[in-house]
Amino acid sequence: MLYWLLLIIFAGFISILFFQPHWILAIIELLIPGVVYFAKIHDNLIALTIDDSPHSDTTQILLNILRENQVKATFFIISNQVFANEAIIQTMVTDGHELGNHMTEDKPSIKLSPEEFATDLLEAHSVISRFDKIHWFRPASGWYNSEMLKTAKKNGYRTALGSVFPYDTLIESSWFAVNYILFNIRPGSIIVLHDGNSRGQRTVKTLIKILPILKNRGYKFVTLSELFTKDNSISGQFF
């Protein structure tokens, strides 16, 4: 009896982990307000977000694929990677993509003290905002606490994670990412993928597969800001 109970609990945990049901994310939003995981809309609008840009080896390839498919995305920028790739950032803006703040380097933001976090957030902002207005923050590694959210909000940011994350930082399979995204996508979803080196190469393969399929299903890709202008549940609270 205990064996079957543990098996059911384990199966439920795996189901939540891999299928990220919206009701679980909605509960998290209620318990820890200040982070958005998806938009509460019925229109077939979805947001593609790409973390850890820019990279000289993969970002331009991603931009080319997005341009070919007439898709807009939100790129979460690591500011220390901007200086050798300023032309790529400018291309993002010229092509109509949105820029977000992903701190100065790729290390867990939650490990920073409140003072260190505020300094790092503003340092990244000073670099990224030279290219465009920045409205969105995503903590590096995805972990956050209430102090981080307060600091981000005080500095004019909304914090976004996502509802369709195929664990591409852990599972080195484009096939898995493609099928995970296609299975879990729904109106208002925020997809999270990663740029750079092998992760970026997998994202290239993933986008080549999913973009035409999702467009054929009737989905339209928009930036995060465009997605949340359609979300009446936060009307009057946005920017």
DSSP the chain: -HHHHHHHHHHHHHHHHHH--HHHHHHHHHHSTTEESS----SSEEEEEEEEE--TTTHHHHHHHHHHTT--EEEEE-GGGTTT-HHHHHHHHHTT-EEEE--SSSS-GGGS-HHHHHHHHHHHHHHHTTTS---EE--GGG---HHHHHHHHHTTPEEE--SB---TTT---HHHHHHHHHHH--TT-EEEEE-SHHHHHHHHHHHHHHHHHHHHTT-EEE-HHHHHTS-GGGTTT--
Does residue 194 carry a catalytic annotation?
Answer: yes
- Residue among 125, 135, 194, 195 flagged as catalytic: 194
What secondary structure, in 3-state letters, does 67-89 show? HHCCCCEEEEECHHHCCCCHHHH
Question: How far is it, in rounded angstroms, from Cα 125 to Cα 133?
Answer: 10
- Count CA within 13 A, CB hemisphere, residue 148: 24
Residue type, 196: G
Does residue 95 carry a catalytic annotation?
Answer: no
- Residue among 42, 51, 95, 106 flagged as catalytic: 51
Residue type, 172: E
Q: Which residues are catalytic?
A: 51, 194
